[in-house]
Structure 1
Amino acid sequence: MSFSGSYATDDVTLLLQVVDMAPTPVAQKEALIQSGTLHYSELLAPEAPPTAQYMGIYDAALAENGPLMAQSVVSLAKGIAGQIDGEITLVSLARAGLPVGVLLKRALKTLGRQCHHYGISIIRDRGLDHVAMRHILSKHAAESVVFVDGWTGKGAIAGELAKAAPDCGIPKPRMATLGDIGGFAWMAPTDTDWLIPSGILGGVVSGLVSRTVLNDTIRSSGGYHGCTTLPHLAGHDVSRDFVDAIARQFPWEAAPCNPLRKADRIIRQSRVSRTIDTLAKWHNIGNLNRIKPSLAEATRAVLRRRPHMVYVASDTARDTAPLMHLIRENDVPYEVAPDMIAGYRAVTIIEKTS
């Protein structure tokens, strides 16, 4: 099955199978994951509607950083167009990559390029959806493929892509993102941890689909990785409004991106490694998956996980306002510690279950 979620059918083809899966309460989910009883991809946390106050904060973020996102998309689109001859096949990593991929497709089409856009699943420790990639490569050349995500945090998904893509027929995967803090993307406009408006919402800005899931039933079906749809959030959905708002602001004079140079990659990865190592030692963390760095990842962790502590570079800056709202609303401990989280604006530490 393929569909487009709540996006227009011309914007994206989602290569996911819709499954029926009840959400697992957050505390129970954490215990099951951290005990090794179940993999995170076998569980979904409940996704509640955003409050009116939080949507007001999102609207402010969109007004302030919408122009920067529009510029970043055009810069990426021009960079991709300059590196690939012929058709371009965008493969967005669901969910965070979906809004970015929709916008890139629109920009590339306006630039006169033939472009196709798919949304597929990638799961840490489980890899890319081989069935979805087989479908894509039956229609498009491997050299036309660019993977799309929202940002890189500490490189977990980028590392998974680098390991899994060769088995799917892409020997050297190229990933484009809006922000490449960790130095793991092929191409990105910046290494700054900036407030990407779509990064602070979940399904209501990503086509009303859940995070992707993979369990034994889905594997045995021989189909695509799974997801659930989110009809209970339909009244709050801003997926189309968001991409329309950004696309209206595209500055066509923006300069193109270039692929990341090896020297810059080493600098970024070293900076991130030092920060993650410092946090891991400070909190005696053996499983680095408990560390969620970057504004977007830190915010999403507070929304759907059990946070132990949040570090922020500032608790009064505009870019941390959405996260600080959630911290105060949920009474989450936090600390202003810009030196401890060098390279990031925020980091959430997931609570360890006993």
Structure 2
Amino acid sequence: MTNPFTGSYSTDDVQFLLRPMAMPDTPVHIKETLIQSGQKHYSQMLTHESVPSENYLQLFYQAMALNQQRMAEHLLVLAKRILDTRPDGVTLVSLARAGTPVGVLLKHVLKRHFNTEAKHYSISILRDVGIDQNALRHILRNHAPESLVFVDGWTGKGVIAQQLNTSLQAFAVTDGVTIPAELYVLADLSGSAAVAACSEDYLIPSCILNATVSGLVSRSVYDPQLAAPTDFHGCVYYRQFEQHDLSRYFIDTMLACVEHAWQECQGGFESCSHDRLQLQGISQALLNWVSERYCIGQHNYIKPGIGEATRVLLRREAQILLLQDLDCEATQHLRWLAESRSIPIDVVTDLPYRAVALIKRLHGRRR
């Protein structure tokens, strides 16, 4: 088993229960062919990242200016809800990679504003593969199962929440340990998180960037043919991007915003309530409409919400981008990405989310 490492974060911020490794570069079009033909699972391949351009970085800074205060308030709400639901101790387990910056922030927020120390681990969970059971066993050596808090940035269709539930049910059978299958997020679009600060599809600034806002760590990878039975899931550590790393900048800037939000509310903030069943209904109706309108047979090809749409345009072959409003400031980075890749944009004014991206289906592929 690999020793945990911290990426470009400090040792007090997080322990990545991931195995740094070298991975060949699989170009996006080749990766898409292999995924859709069923020859390989997406978790077995990685398209190497590059440093964001100056133009694209400006969109990140605009996103910070637009939404850092809202995100700060939501971090306080989420931290308070964590304490309400974990009165006997908190162990933060962020889901790599989108959950990692949120987990780092929550660790600091809990300590600074709620006088609560919490260890923070970041572990892999992959659709169809499941959660990294070796990482869970590592955590459970020192922490009570009921203290675990699984953290992510947002929900899209709710696939990861469902995968978490399935994985932890299997873990209870194999290891005889029951862990609450509860996901904690900033924004729960699909009504699938147990606890959320809001259900609004807003631009969480960290979703714009990849490794350079996530401790220089890639998304997680796993190939059962190459991994030893006791290995953690893998990742690539982009040490060569150190001069371009914004991970620490993001944490420090957000914590200053949280401090301001705390002073403003004097601890008197309240959680936003939302109807999970209603959100689930909206999500399903959207999936059904998109499937019919664009002749899509599998919901895996539909990625709702700003965060999921961003992932598609950064990592996959996109067929089309749907936007609620072409001039919306929150989706300018998506418009930039689509235009730079010649991806068509449809404006759908009654879309329930700010954005939806559709993965391009390759001719003759059905997976």
Could you state the TM-score of these two structures normalised by the residue count of structure 2?
A: 0.92
2:103 is matched with: 101
Does the Cα contact within 8 Å between 1:218 and 1:225 map onto a contact in 2? no
Superposed displacement of residue 234, structure 1: 2.1
Superposed displacement of residue 84, structure 1: 1.3
- Structure 2 unaligned segments of length 5 or more: list them: 172-176
- Structure 1 unaligned segments of length 5 or more: list them: none
Does the Cα contact within 8 Å between 2:323 and 2:356 map onto a contact in 1? yes
Matched to 2:121, the amino acid is Y
Superposed displacement of residue 221, structure 1: 4.5
Deviations along 1:185-217, whole A, 9 cap, x unmatched?
111111110000001111110111111001024
RMSD, aligned CA? 1.4
Aligned runs of 1:117-266 on 2, under 5 Å? 117-168=120-171, 169-250=177-258, 251-252=261-262, 253=265, 255-257=269-271, 264-266=275-277
Q: Please give the secondary structure, in 2, of the residue aligned with 1:328.
A: helix
Superposed displacement of residue 67, structure 1: 0.7
1:348 is matched with: 357
**Aligned to 1:115, which of 114, 118, 143?**
118
Superposed displacement of residue 236, structure 1: 1.7
1:282 is matched with: 293
Q: Greater CA deviation, 276-285 or 155-164?
A: 276-285
Superposed displacement of residue 293, structure 1: 1.0
Q: Greater CA deviation, 164-173 or 184-193?
A: 164-173
2:41 is matched with: 39
Mapped to 2, the partners of 1:9 and 1:315 lie a distance apart of: 42
Matched to 2:205, the amino acid is P
Mapped to 1, the partners of 2:13 and 2:336 lie a distance apart of: 32
1:77 is matched with: 79
Mapped to 2, the partners of 1:89 and 1:287 lie a distance apart of: 36
Aligned runs of 1:58-69 on 2, under 5 Å? 58-69=60-71
**Aligned to 2:314, which of 288, 303, 316?**
303
Superposed displacement of residue 13, structure 1: 0.6
Q: Please give the secondary structure, in 1, of the residue aligned with 2:150.
A: strand
Change in Cα spacing, 1:187 to 1:214, as seen in structure 2 (3 Å) is same
Deviations along 1:46-74, whole A, 9 cap, x unmatched?
21211101101110110121111111101
Mapped to 2, the partners of 1:112 and 1:4 lie a distance apart of: 23
Could you state the TM-score of these two structures normalised by the residue count of structure 1?
A: 0.95
2:174 is matched with: none
Mapped to 2, the partners of 1:328 and 1:239 lie a distance apart of: 27
Mapped to 1, the partners of 2:36 and 2:194 lie a distance apart of: 32
Does the Cα contact within 8 Å between 1:207 and 1:239 map onto a contact in 2? yes
Matched to 1:237, the amino acid is D
2:18 is matched with: 16
Q: Please give the secondary structure, in 1, of the residue aligned with 2:227.
A: helix
Q: Greater CA deviation, 74-83 or 215-224?
A: 215-224
Deviations along 1:80-128, whole A, 9 cap, x unmatched?
1122123200100000000000000001111111211000000000110
Mapped to 2, the partners of 1:152 and 1:53 lie a distance apart of: 28
1:315 aligns with 2:317: no
Count of aligned residue pairs for this structure pair: 349
Mapped to 1, the partners of 2:139 and 2:154 lie a distance apart of: 23
Q: Please give the secondary structure, in 2, of the residue aligned with 1:121.
A: strand
Deviations along 1:287-339, whole A, 9 cap, x unmatched?
21111111011112111111110000111111011111111111110111032
Does the Cα contact within 8 Å between 2:19 and 2:235 map onto a contact in 1? yes
Superposed displacement of residue 171, structure 1: 4.3
Does the Cα contact within 8 Å between 1:24 and 1:44 map onto a contact in 2? yes
What percent of counterpart residues are identical?
A: 41
Matched to 1:52, the amino acid is E
Mapped to 2, the partners of 1:29 and 1:60 lie a distance apart of: 31
Mapped to 2, the partners of 1:93 and 1:298 lie a distance apart of: 18
Does the Cα contact within 8 Å between 1:26 and 1:46 map onto a contact in 2? no
Q: Greater CA deviation, 247-256 or 1-10?
A: 247-256
Does the Cα contact within 8 Å between 1:86 and 1:114 map onto a contact in 2? no
Mapped to 2, the partners of 1:76 and 1:256 lie a distance apart of: 10
Superposed displacement of residue 167, structure 1: 2.8
Matched to 2:357, the amino acid is T
Does the Cα contact within 8 Å between 1:90 and 1:146 map onto a contact in 2? yes
Mapped to 2, the partners of 1:232 and 1:31 lie a distance apart of: 29
